[in-house]
Amino acid sequence: MALTITGHAEIDKQHEILETIVARLHSFCPELERSPDADCRACLPARHKQCSAVLGAITGELVAFLVGHATYEERMMQLLPDTPTCQAHIRAHKAAHEGLSKRLRKLSGQVAHESPRSASALTWKVISDWLGDHTVLFDRRLVRLGRAASPEIDFDAELVDMLDQHVFPNRPTMARATAHADQTLQRRRLEMRGRVESLSPSQREVFWLVVGGRKNREIAAALGITVNTVKSHRRAVFQKMEVSSVVELLKKADVLR
């Protein structure tokens, strides 16, 4: 599916994300890697159920992103001037969004009785056909009308990003970036917890005191051990945490807060 570029950085980025999600409809089946002619009827019920669950998750993500995409564009339409040409475009553009919603609702009932492979093929066709036509007929025209209304605005990536921070703070790509950042933080937090759990009880005590800003002599006094023992524990902590300085240790420990 080759997408048509609109020239609006945010909308084009949303189209790229949609294309990526749609592409997963063709790659969710693990049997396809072994045989392009894989048939769902040959799979065990457990695998069939697993594929259906994965397909449902992809479809849910796709529908949610399409809702965000439509909302974003309809917010943009509010910025168009009140002229017959712009108002006609707004009505047709919104009708196209509503038409896709109806098709997806109808499709959800249809694919419930299909195999995962057939359901993914049907969904892929509906979304890919709509996305290609919609971009040419509506999204590109929306951008052109926006430029005509405000010719001083250049929809390059930097300016669009600056405007959207204030005008469209909940745009789909921002929400997706936030979700990705949350997932990344969660992975780092789990990794750090694993590293902390790998420390011995004595090393863990030293770890938290070092993170708290305590010096070697202060740690030795607090724990009733020698400074050399503190240094030995510190070396072990640094090795297990894969850091070479207190600053690096603080940065890693910060994800636990």
Secondary structure E strands in the chain = none
Please give the pLDDT value at position 235.
92
By residue count, the chain amounts to 257
- At the top level of CATH, which class does the domain 198-256 belong to? mainly alpha
**pLDDT under 50 in the chain at which residues?**
1, 152-159, 162-163, 166-167
Can you tell me the distance from the alpha carbon of 44 to that of 184, in angstroms, rounded to the nearest whole number? Answer: 34
Three-class SS state of 95 = helix
pLDDT value at residue 166: 46
pLDDT at 171: 58
3-state helix, strand, coil in the chain (%, to 5): 80, 0, 20
Predicted local confidence at residue 230, as pLDDT: 92
Q: Where are the domains of the chain?
A: 9-178, 198-256
Angle of helix 216-223 versus helix 201-211 axis, rounded to 10: 130
Q: Is 60 left (phi over 0), alpha (psi -120 to 50) or beta?
A: alpha
Nearest of 137, 257, 144, 143 to residue 196 by alpha carbon: 257
**What is the reported pLDDT for 32?**
63
Contact of 22 with 62, CB cutoff 8 Å: yes
Mark 202-215 as b/e (b = at least 16 C-beta within 10 Å). ebebbbebbbeebe
How far apart are alpha carbons 116 and 246 in whole angstroms?
A: 52
pLDDT at 68: 77
Q: What are the residue ranges of helices labelled H in 135-171? A: 140-149, 157-167
Per-residue pLDDT reduced to its tens digit, 141-168: 777 777 676 554 444 444 455 445 544 5
Helix or strand (DSSP H, E) at 53 = helix 45-77
User: For the CA atoms of the chain, what is the radius of gyration?
Assistant: 27
Residue type, 52: S
Which position has the token pair 């940065």? 251
Contact indicator for 214, 222 with CB cutoff of 8 Å:
yes
Q: How far apart are CA 207 and CA 199, in angstroms?
A: 9
Running DSSP on this structure, what letter comes out for residue 42? G
Predicted local distance difference test score (pLDDT) of residue 231: 93
Quote the pLDDT of residue 153: 47
Using alpha carbons, select from 198, 206, 211, 199 the residue that is nearest to residue 246. 211
DSSP line for 96-131? HHHHHHHHHHHHHHHHTTS-HHHHHHHHHHHHHHHH
Residue 29, phi-psi category: left (phi > 0), alpha (psi -120 to 50), beta (remainder): beta
